[in-house]
Amino acid sequence: MMSSSREREESLTFPTNPSSSSSPIIVSDHLDSYLQDPTSHIGSAAGSYSNEGLLASETASPSNSDVEFGFSRPDFRQQSPISGTVQFCERHVFLCYKSPSVWPPRIEAAEFDRLPRLLSAAVLARKTDMVKETRLTICEGHDGTETSNGDVLIFPDMIRYRRLTHFDVDTFVEEVLVKNGEWLPGTPEKLQGSFVFVCSHGSRDRRCGVCGPPLVSRFKEEIVLHGLKGRVSVSPCSHIGGHKYAGNVIIFGSNINGEVTGHWYGYVTPDDVPTLLEWHIGKGEIINALWRGQMGLSEEKQKKFQELRRLENGETTIEGSTKEATQRQIDEMNTIACQSQDELVSCCQGNGSACCHNPQKSDIVDIDEGAVKLTPEKKKGGKKLVSMINSGKGAGVRKVCAKPTWFESWEREDTYAALAVVCAAASIAVAYSCYKQLS
């Protein structure tokens, strides 16, 4: 189920802030434990997923990788709901640096990657001086592109600093992250549009390495198809927590009130990408069953926030639903996806059930406010696009197939005819009045 985040964020109030024991800085790779014992993670084979290099993933066939670590893996979509699985943070900093194919498992502590290592160390050293709880993540960077190596993106500030070097790290952290000012050697650039980050840190976790790249590719493809180039950007990023929820996606952007929000989604497949672009980015609607949490909310508040959304939409929360139940909900929601953008189906309503006269031609999905038409370009992929996996049997989402009222079926020609009749009657009335006066 999807619900408008922009309508509720300001009205919701929850008790207290997160526990004071929560650290004001979250480094995505849990660097604290690594620095305390640098050898504890080197060559670690703990778990069947963690710290396996990219070489291993490349040697396995794509089909085997998908079955083991991808969207067909046994643990995929086993947990529902997944809200409340994002650590609290108020500010998210992304350092653009190289590509996932060369990232080591712990890039923020890698000996030969000086810039991310020094930035992480500086942020951790000043964590007690920061007012905002800050998270640091690495995203892809390529020199000569929009996101060059050393660029720093900061959300929700929506600003970019260009070409940070290891010589500037301490000053940058002091001026920007501690004092919340500007880094004088650089000029902050205002970011526009929406920013999508997909965890593709394969050397850290195989699930992210298998699921991330197809998602990035699908986002780029759909951005072009939807004409969103320049308004929506996508980048692979390092570990953001929650390996088991891969594919993991973060979306930053402004809502209708101009407030910048950051939303985490998990269990995202390539077939969900058009839905995220059309509904979350295009309409500001949250896809509940894929929603993990939001920047600025504690884990408990994330759960309450989603529970309120569900209650307002008449949904029931299904705790610990099985993979089969979740898939059944997906299939039910997929039947709402429509195949034509030209015709709204007229349907009959009887005994509480709808009987669509021409379901093959219906393409309108109505969710709370307004409807959206799905164009043929949005129907790429093996599954239907609207894979809005929701808890509850499509509650709050309805196919627009109600029998049209007389007003809805009123045609323009009918309007002209009515106006002609009214004008004729008025002319007769005026003529009769003049006749009476003359006689």
The mean per-residue pLDDT over the stretch 15-40 comes to 40
Residue with tokens 């089909």: 63
pLDDT of residue 104: 93
Check residue 425 and give its pLDDT. Answer: 86
Instruction: Give alpha helix (H) positions in 167-237.
Output: 169-172, 206-225
CB 195 within 8 A of CB 155: yes
pLDDT > 70? residue 102: yes
DSSP state of 322: -
Q: Which of 260-264, 276-280, 378-382 has the lowest mean pLDDT?
A: 378-382
Whether the Cβ atoms of residue 95 and residue 116 lie closer than 8 Å to each other: yes
DSSP letter string, 225-249: HTT-BTTEEEEEES--S-GGGPSPE
- Superfamily of 91-309 according to CATH: Glutaredoxin (3.40.30.10)
Q: Is 226 helix (H, G, I), strand (E, B) or coil?
A: coil
Contact 338, 314 (CB under 8 A): no
Least confident of 60-64, 108-112, 245-249, 372-376: 372-376
**Residue in the block written with tokens 């000569």:** 144
Is the pLDDT confidence value at 218 over 80? yes
For the record, the structure tokens of 223 come out as 């951005």
Check residue 324 and give its pLDDT. 57
Separation CA 398–CA 387 (nearest Å): 14
CA atoms in the 13 A half-sphere facing the CB of 100: 26
* pLDDT greater than 60 at residue 197: yes
Predicted TM-score (pTM) of this structure: 0.65
| Cα within 13 Å of Cα(311), Cβ side | 7
**Span 251-263, pLDDT tens digits:** 999 987 889 999 9
Identity (one letter) of the amino acid at 125?
Answer: A
